[in-house]
Amino acid sequence: METVAAMLNCEFTDHPVYDGLELQWFDDEAHGTGMLAFLSRRADRRVDYYFDPALRLDRSRYHLGGGTGAWQATAFDVAQLRVAPDGVLARASLTDVDGRQIEVHVDDRDGKPRRRAGLLAPVSAAIAEPESLLLVWMPAFDLVHRTRTAPVLRIDGEQAAIGRLPGAGLHRRLLIKYAAPLLVTTLGRAHEGALQDLPVVNAGADGTAVLTSRAAGHAAHLVLDPAMPDLTAIAPGTREQGRWHVRVDDVRLTGGSWSLRRDDGEVTGDLDVTERWRPGKLPLLMRLVTTVMPVFRRWPTSYRWRGVVTSGTIPMLHSVWERTGTGGVETYVRRTGGG
């Protein structure tokens, strides 16, 4: 589990090069303080990353869209992202790898406290070849309000058009999303090689086991019901199975089933994601959006994990994540005009 102090993103509807932009702000001991900006390319959905040289980021943890393009330390001309009780202020100015100037200025603060809600970000719905199950929980999410100050989103001097939500004249919101903080949980990273440092997890009195990761006062829990047995304790030709789910703080995000089968010198493992995200109490607009656009609830169930452990002096693991569908992302693109 990792945390990001704040985030703002949007999709572009008709820009010839880019189809999306995201700004992230870090401010913690693990990462340092500064901005990360990424731009998604329309042609191949690869993502270019630009980060403050003062930040300490693990490139292997960034695998979005169609994969990683540029990964570049960048001296931002302007870098600011602050979420206040009455809105958000985001300012960024940088030059991309092709020499284009990227300018962002979003400020919807109006002195009126905002009502925000929790949202599971559907960012993983757009990952073509996943290396993990990436769960990004936003406990305080909102959309930018339409005010007298129009957002500036310029690429090479030209204002870029953004996606839109139906009924904008009524709700007066822009399809520019922001949140603070982001709680990022990575489950079951794909692996090829020696199986080392396997955590020892003891079952509780009820037979379940819980693995926990903590960051910045928050916690992610993987709950196994029942606890998985030691691989060597599985009788040849038999299958062990159960249920699992992931909880961040006290919010259940998704879950499914697990199974293990031993045949000769191999143990085959399956982890299927079968639980859709079920939102809690949401403001009316967000409730409508997450209902009519199924990607928000459905995308986790388009993931599954497969692994094989081969016994030996040093056990070897080969594991992969697979997509079983798109999770409803096409409906989102069609209804917002994005992508």
Q: Which residues contact 210 (CB under 8 A, 6 or more apart)?
A: 201, 204, 221, 222, 223, 224
- Mean pLDDT over the full length of the chain: 91
Model pTM score: 0.91
Select from 258, 243, 328, 246 the least CA-distant residue to 294.
Answer: 328
Average pLDDT over residues 84-101: 97
Q: Give the three-state DSSP class for 24.
A: strand
Read off the pLDDT of residues 51-77 as tens digits, 9 standing for 90 and up: 999 999 999 889 888 899 999 999 999
Helix (H) or strand (E) segment spanning residue 287: helix 284-292
Burial category of 68 from C-beta neighbours within 10 Å (exposed 0-12, middle 13-18, buried 19 and up) = middle
> Is 282 a residue whose pLDDT tops 90?
no
Tell me the two tokens of residue 173: 């919101």
Read off the pLDDT of residues 192-232 as tens digits, 9 standing for 90 and up: 999 876 666 778 888 999 999 999 999 999 999 999 988 87
What pLDDT score does 113 carry?
93
C-beta separation of 303 from 326 below 8 A: no
> Is 339 a residue whose pLDDT tops 60?
no
